[in-house]
Structure 1
């Protein structure tokens, strides 16, 4: 099943979801209500190639915990991604074995094309 990992309270996520064609092709996973498991994160990692690619450096906790001043390694990114939903770069789509990460225009355009 194709999935979207998102935050229901995020305006950007809601706006993106509203604009998607054929939303019935997606299984929705609200990461606040249902935190991602290590198994799900591992699937994302396999598709993305790194935990850092999944990690949001825009998260407020990233700055408040002083992580921007640390030299984080892949194990650190994994640890923080599992500890708190805010560190996942949202939304994350897994469609037909491919991953699309974040809310950049090219990423959302690609998802829209795949769902048509």
Structure 2
């Protein structure tokens, strides 16, 4: 199981602690693999972009232009976190539904 997120993100740390055998991949250090990002974009579309983040609020209107993939490639912290890859399926966020699906 892989968790794509930020090592200093509280939500990512909660997910990592709950999913003891998971590996946290910091998207600032290593980009999400292209095939995983393609599937995430297909599954979640615009929801993959965190428009409530400080990073988003600090971008100019010009910098906010572009596709979700382009924005996340340029500013990895814009990706909603965590993006969890488990058993060939992707999960976004760490809400009750994701916790129930992954923790049983």
Question: What TM-score comes out, normalization by structure 1 length?
Answer: 0.71
Deviations 1:27-85 (A, max 9, x none): 43111221224443113223x152x1211112112122245xx7x6xx52111011111
How is 1:93-112 mapped onto 2 (pairs within 5 angstroms)?
Answer: 93-112=84-103
> For the Cα contact (< 8 Å) 1:5–1:91, is it kept in 2?
yes
* Counterpart selection for 1:60 from 43, 47, 54: 54
1:17 aligns with 2:16: yes
Equivalenced residue count is 102
Cα pair 1:13 1:91 within 8 Å, conserved: yes
Instruction: Please give the alpha-carbon distance, in whole angstroms, between the structure 2 residues aligned to 1:14 and 1:49.
Output: 22
CA distance in 2, matches of 1:37, 1:94: 11
Q: Secondary structure at the match of 2:67?
A: helix
Q: Secondary structure at the match of 1:93?
A: strand
Whichever structure has more helix as a proportion of its residues is 1
Q: Which runs of 5+ in 2 are unaligned?
A: none
Hey, which bits of structure 1, 4+ residues long, moved more than 3 A? 37-40
What TM-score does the superposition give when structure 2 sets the normalisation length? 0.78
CA contact (8 A) 1:38 1:82 kept: no
